[in-house]
DNA sequence: ACCTGAACACCGTTCAAGT
DNA sequence: ACCTGAACACCGTTCAAGT
């Protein structure tokens, strides 16, 4: 996607909200065959999950909905808008931690990071879209608001908090991008992710330096790649949080 | 790109090296009009920089080279291969620090991160491709080897080093993805990146939480957005490095 | 108000053919 | 050995027209 050149560049759905049409049919509670934006977005998410974003198209979506391709355009202005809507929909699936449970802010932040990662890995196309769009839909904002509440409870001085949030979530974004790409490679190649990793590592072993795939291909001694990944994920968060707190006492 | 579904899934150029054809013309030193893989890749990089990856196509490339679209396919198997070659070419532009200068390993690691970021921001399409492909070409490996040499000099225990490298570079990847996307938004919208950020921040300010764009839109008091970004980038690396080293004494 | 059909301006890539 | 031309199977999206 990524907005072909146009005289007027595209603006996010959230910045120029299109009327969510098709409400009449939805509200009148008529037959299941009717379209509305919600149904379109839900179907898009399902197809994106099943087919991947490379395979997904407006035409495929329309076929799945048993309508002509152009019918969809009554409800969404274009494919980019639809992708933003789909992305916000999956952002709504992220489990937010219960902030009233009285856990330490670090635990809540970790829970948030883990929940984000889980959701993105469940929808591999979503992490790519996340890098493409503005992510300011209601569900994304719900997540951001929660994250901000969490750091607001930390002892970090107020002017440090945005940087702390960026650091954590930019890391999580980077980690998750790599992770879901490796999982996709595994799926595409028909082998397991572990086997694919072995193969690449093998083809590359003669070179002086490795680290391909963000250094995920070393030290498997009994423990599975998945566990190693989880461990690395937690470890980096340990380091970041330790670094932030170390700054406080200095 | 991202490999349309095929019976045999695509393999990286680097895993199944295609013969770099067209060497005859290149070696015989004949006229400038002749094609070879090097010239094709260089032109692709130039076009990707100038037009963006959304605008770039095999047909556009062929036109720029004054040949028929299909001529290019004599030298590269497909567009994905070409993108991998282009990506490795820009990886060759990354300035590696001089490791014989006797600087502390943290400085070298920071220099490496900064050089990577600089190159990726200079070629905004490259960061997207980086997330898409395997990045195991010779120039990528040169970079990885250097990074591994740097951490090998750190006091980190050997089994921690891959995780440390991943943590740093996954963060840098995440940061740089967001950064170049914001810069693109600015360019696309015709305004400066700062103005665009203001606009989005404005449209979003009524919501309870902000942090859109990775929390880059707060606290500008005199200092430019660019400086703030640089500061946040360094800050997160401070935290990561501090966290790693803190673990050593414990 | 909602949906269709035909068309436009693109893609990447195939295949058989030219020189 | 290298390059072309025509064609295939797609895209997203326009526009005017139907109900």
Q: Round and report the angstrom distance from CA (B61) to C1' (D9).
A: 22
Do A171 and B170 count as a contact with CB atoms less than 8 A apart? yes
- Determine the pLDDT at residue A222: 76
- Determine the pLDDT at residue B207: 56
Q: Is the pLDDT of residue B208 over 60?
A: no
- Determine the pLDDT at residue A114: 98
B220 and B150, same structural domain? yes
B123 and B34, same structural domain? no
Q: What angle do CA A202, B22, B76 make, to 5 degrees?
A: 50
Q: What is the mean pLDDT of residues A209-231?
A: 67
Start-end of H helices in A6-135: 23-27, 37-51, 58-64, 79-91, 105-122, 124-132
Q: What is the mean pLDDT of residues A129-149?
A: 96
**Those residues with Cβ within 8 angstroms of residue B124's Cβ, 6 or more apart along the chain or in another chain:** B52, B180, B181, B183, B184
B116 and B72, same structural domain? no
CATH of the domain at A239: 1.10.357.10
The per-residue pLDDT for range A36-81, each reduced to its tens digit, is 999 999 999 999 999 999 999 999 999 999 999 999 999 999 999 9
B180 and B139, same structural domain? yes
In a domain, B4, yes or no: no
In a domain, B99, yes or no: no
Looking at the structure of chain A, the number of domains it has is: 2
Do A144 and B212 count as a contact with CB atoms less than 8 A apart? yes
Buried b (16+ CB within 10 A) or exposed e, B140-153: bbbbbbbbbbbbee
Q: Which bases on strand C have an atom closer than 7 Å to a protein beta carbon? A: 1-6, 10-16
B156 and B207, same structural domain? yes
Q: Is the pLDDT of residue B128 over 50?
A: yes
Q: How far is CA A185 from CA A218, B98, B113, B129, in A?
A: 18, 35, 26, 15
Rounded distance, CA B249 to CA B105, Å? 17
Which of A21-25, A228-232, A243-247 is modeled with the greatest confidence? A228-232
The answer to whether residues B197 and B225 touch, using CB atoms and an 8 Å cutoff, is yes
Rounded distance, CA B24 to CA B28, Å? 6
Average pLDDT, chain A: 88
B115: left (phi over 0), alpha (psi -120 to 50) or beta: alpha
CB count, 10 Å around CB of B231?
12
Give φ, ψ of B249 to 5 degrees. -80, -25
Q: What angle do CA B83, B84, B85 make, to 5 degrees?
A: 90
CATH of the domain at A42: 1.10.10.60
The answer to whether residues A35 and A67 touch, using CB atoms and an 8 Å cutoff, is yes
Q: Round and report the angstrom distance from CA (A31) to C1' (D15).
A: 30
The answer to whether residues A105 and A240 touch, using CB atoms and an 8 Å cutoff, is no
With helix as H, strand as E and coil as C, how does A107-150 read? HHHHHHHHHHHHHHHHCHHHHHHHHHCCCCCHHHHHHHHHHHHH
Q: Is the pLDDT of residue A241 over 80?
A: yes
Q: Is the pLDDT of residue A2 over 90?
A: no
Q: Is A212 exposed, middle or buried (0-12, 13-18, 19+ CB in 10 A)?
A: buried
Q: Is the pLDDT of residue B249 over 70?
A: no
Residues of B in contact with A209 (CB under 8 A): 141-149
A vs B: CB pairs below 8 A? 239
Structure tokens at A225: 């790649």
Do A238 and B242 count as a contact with CB atoms less than 8 A apart? no
Task: Report the greatest alpha carbon distance in chain B.
Answer: 67
B122 and B62, same structural domain? no
Q: Is B123 helix (H, G, I), strand (E, B) or coil?
A: coil
Band (A220; pLDDT cuts 50, 70, 90): low
Which of B13, B171, B180 is the best mutation test for A, with the most CBs of A within 10 A? Answer: B171
Nearest to A211 among B144, B214, B235 (CB): B144
B232 and B109, same structural domain? yes
Rounded distance, CA A165 to CA B67, Å? 50
Rounded distance, CA B82 to CA B97, Å? 28
In a domain, A81, yes or no: no
In a domain, B193, yes or no: yes
The answer to whether residues A58 and A48 touch, using CB atoms and an 8 Å cutoff, is no
Domain range for B63 is: 27-76
């Amino acid at each position: 996607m990524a907005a072909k050149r146009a005289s007027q560049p595209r603006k996010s759905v959230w910045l120029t909200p299109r009327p969510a049409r098709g409400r009449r049919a939805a509200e009148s509670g008529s037959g299941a065959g009717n379209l509305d934006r919600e149904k379109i977005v839900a179907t898009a998410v399902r197809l994106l999950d099943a087919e991947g974003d490379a395979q997904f198209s407006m035409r495929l979506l329309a076929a799945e909905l048993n309508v002509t391709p152009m019918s969809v355009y009554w409800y969404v202005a274009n494919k980019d808008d639809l992708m933003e809507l789909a992305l916000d929909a999956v952002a709504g699936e992220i489990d937010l931690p219960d902030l009233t449970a009285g856990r330490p802010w670090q635990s809540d932040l970790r829970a948030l990071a883990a929940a984000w990662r889980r959701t993105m890995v469940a929808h591999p196309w979503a992490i790519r879209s996340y890098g493409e769009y503005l992510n300011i839909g209601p569900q994304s904002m719900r997540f951001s608001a929660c994250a901000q509440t969490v750091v607001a409870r930390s002892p970090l001085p107020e002017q440090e908090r945005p940087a702390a949030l960026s650091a954590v979530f930019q890391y999580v974004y980077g980690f998750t991008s790599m992770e879901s790409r490796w999982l996709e490679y595994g799926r595409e190649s028909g082998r397991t992710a572990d086997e694919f990793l072995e193969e690449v590592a093998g083809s590359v072993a003669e070179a002086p330096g490795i680290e391909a795939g963000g250094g995920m291909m070393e030290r498997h001694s009994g423990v599975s790649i998945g566990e190693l990944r989880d461990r690395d994920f937690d470890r980096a968060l340990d380091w970041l949080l330790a670094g932030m707190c170390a700054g406080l006492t200095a």
